[in-house]
Amino acid sequence: MTGSEIKVGQKYGFRLKYSASGPLLEVQVIEKVGRKGMIKIRHLGPPHLGLEEFVKTSSIIIPWKEQKAFMRDEERLHAARQASAKEGDRVRQEATSTVLESSGESQAAVYRADGMLDVPLEVAQRLAVRAGLAEPIERLHPFSFVDRHGVLHVPYLGAERLARAFAAAEPELVLREIENHELQLKSEGYEPGNRYLHDLLRDYQPSYALARQWAGLEKEIEQLRKEIERLRVLVRSAVGELKSLGAERKALRIERALDGQ
């Protein structure tokens, strides 16, 4: 909470700044000092009942009436982050982030090292509709949950499920996002002092390949290969027809072109 939000006489949840996961203590603000972000508080419960001290406003976490919801969110978030940290790897997380960013929803991306997706519920719901997901977005993962502020927290495997479904539903958007980023890194990498961008592009290639796979590119490539082979058979058949009609020179020219000569 900010200093301007804290009111004298009100009860708040207090936690020492260096103890991010420590207990939440009930305190009452009895005075604002007005400098260096300091306030005077009185402890209303154990282990420091009645103690008055000056603390930084940054140590005031929430209004005390919200403490149950706050602690519940904190416990669920801790469990979700622990689960997420055991899932996925760098390549898969980057692929997931690339796909979700291609949606145009700037808040939907996996940036955390543990692979968690933290996104407003309404944004996630829009993505779920576009991805064609039938199940509620909140059930993407056993540890998914919506906090008291309306933010959906999804461990990595749930975020990947969303990304895969979106890539399959809107493959052109995903492929265009990858192509644009590749072109940007490649072109800017030739500018003085930017050679590191080519190294960055190389590092991104595995995740881009995976995102392309999710978008069905390999399936499209296989279909193209089959179509090319079908055309080659037709052309060789036509070459045979030309030879049978005495057009040896024309047939030979086409045959050489077909063989890349």
Residues 114 and 165 in one domain: yes
pLDDT at 93 over 70: yes
Q: What is the CATH number of the domain that holds 13?
A: 2.30.30.140
Residues 58 and 145 in one domain: no
Closest by CA to 150, choosing from 69, 71, 84, 68, is 69
Residues 142 and 186 in one domain: no
Average pLDDT, the chain: 88
Residues 62 and 76 in one domain: no
Separation CA 167–CA 211 (nearest Å): 8
Q: What is the pLDDT of residue 224?
A: 64
pLDDT, average across residues 163-184: 93
pLDDT, average across residues 199-207: 94
Q: What is the pLDDT of residue 217?
A: 67
pLDDT at 12 over 80: yes
pLDDT at 31 over 80: yes
Band the pLDDT of 38: cuts 50, 70, 90: confident
Opening angle at CA 139, ends 134 and 140, nearest 5: 80
Residues 124 and 103 in one domain: yes
How far are the Cα atoms of 124, 157, 207 from residue 141, in angstroms, in the given order? 13, 7, 22
Residues 94 and 141 in one domain: yes
Residues 111 and 190 in one domain: no
Per cent of the chain over pLDDT 90 is 62
Residues 91 and 103 in one domain: yes
Q: Mean pLDDT lowest for which of 47-51, 136-140, 170-174, 257-261?
A: 257-261
Band the pLDDT of 42: cuts 50, 70, 90: very high
pLDDT at 203 over 70: yes
Q: What's the sign of the alpha-carbon dihedral 210, 211, 212, 213? A: positive
Residues 46 and 127 in one domain: no
Q: What is the pLDDT of residue 17?
A: 67
Band the pLDDT of 111: cuts 50, 70, 90: confident
- Among 32, 66, 100, identify where a domain stops: 66
Residues 114 and 182 in one domain: no
Taking phi over 0 as left and psi of -120 to 50 as alpha, with beta for the rest, 77 belongs to alpha
pLDDT at 35 over 80: no
Looking at residue 229, its amino acid is E
Band the pLDDT of 260: cuts 50, 70, 90: low
Q: Mean pLDDT lowest for which of 130-139, 196-205, 247-256?
A: 247-256
pLDDT, average across residues 167-189: 92
SS3 track for the chain: CCHHHCCCCCEEEECCCCCCCCCCEEEEEEEECCCCCEEEEEECCCCCCCCEEEEEHHHEEEEHHHHHHHHHHHHHHHHHHHHHHCCCCHHHHHHHHHHHHCCCCCCCCCCCCCCCEEEEHHHHHHHHHHHCCCCCHHHCCCCCEECCCCEEEECHHHHHHHHHHHHHHCHHHHHHHHHHHHHHHHHHCCCCCCCHHHHHHHHHHHHHHHHHHHCCHHHHHHHHHHHHHHHHHHHHHHHHHHHHCCCHHHHHHHHHHHCCC
Taking phi over 0 as left and psi of -120 to 50 as alpha, with beta for the rest, 150 belongs to left
Residues 239 and 194 in one domain: no
Containing domain of residue 58, as a range? 3-66
Report the domain count for the chain. 4
Residues 132 and 180 in one domain: no
What digits encode the pLDDT tens for the residues 46-63? 989 999 999 988 888 999
